[in-house]
Amino acid sequence: MAKQPNEEKIQWHPPFCSAAELELRHDADILEFIQELPLSKKPLNIDLFIIKKTDSRTLKNDIGKIFRRDNICEYKGPGDYISIDDFYKAIAYACLYKSLGGTVDERPASQITISLIQETHPKLLFKILSENGVSIKLIYSGIYYINGNIPFPMQMIVTKELEKLNHSPLRVLTKNADKEDIRQLLKIANELVTQRDKNNFKSVVNASSSANITTYDDIKKEDETMAGIIEMAERKGEARGKTLGKTEANISTATDMIKDGLPASMITKYSKLSLEKLQELAKSLNCTLVM
């Protein structure tokens, strides 16, 4: 298959996080999203960590029905897949996260879930798991619950198999996006209220359109309204991508300085991050911020 222009430059993880937020936007008031959560001082990061702030409500979106308090998401972009080793690595990450609480059992296993996300059906993974006595059950379209000798509630999300109407943000993150999925995604533009939702929308459209240039061009020719939405998202998405790049660099700088025990005043000066952000970062690193 011939590669489209800029295909190799597409970073799929940031738009995945944006797509996940869009999918769960109707419950955003009780969720906190943390990208690339560091598990330790060494480079062990969770792709997306979602904190559910209350137990009293079940999330509206099917992908969040399984969620407890602390929810670990591991994502593989188009062309990649969750191997059996990735499966156990995700469990290991969950175990490590559980073990790093400030007090004994501060992070109960019963309050931690694991979500594995990839585009295509994990036939080989499911075969290996089944042969080892692990139960795999289709609960919703594209969403499989995994049960067995596993210490945490676990699900596999196959984005290509997700129901079309409510999962367009995840379904369009592919190199072969369907026009119907793209149109469904564009339709939600007018219902987005918060700036965060709008930014996430732009991130998803920008990544998807970069990987599906011809399909998006066809839609632009067929519908002037959708053409305007696409072009605005692409422009803003490019600008946001540059901003995100700077932010990631600032966080990386701050992380190193916190680990080195440098004072907060100096870290703020060089990283341009707020004191509140530094305190959150230090907490996630299990480090003390020097004031």
81/277 Cα distance (integer angstroms): 33
- In the predicted structure, residue 5 carries a pLDDT above the cut 70: no
Q: Which residue, 39, 30, 35, is CA-closest to 107?
A: 39
Is the separation of the CB atoms in 226 and 219 below 8 Å? yes
So what's the pLDDT on residue 175?
Answer: 95
How many other β-carbons are positioned within 10 Å of the β-carbon of residue 194?
Answer: 10
CA distance 10 to 3: 12
- How many C-beta neighbours within 10 Å does residue 155 have? 24
Please report, to the nearest 10 degrees, the dihedral formed by the alpha carbons of residues 9, 12, 18, 19 taken in order. 130
The residue ranking higher by pLDDT, 4 or 204, is 204
pLDDT tens for 83-110 read 999 999 999 999 999 998 889 999 999 9
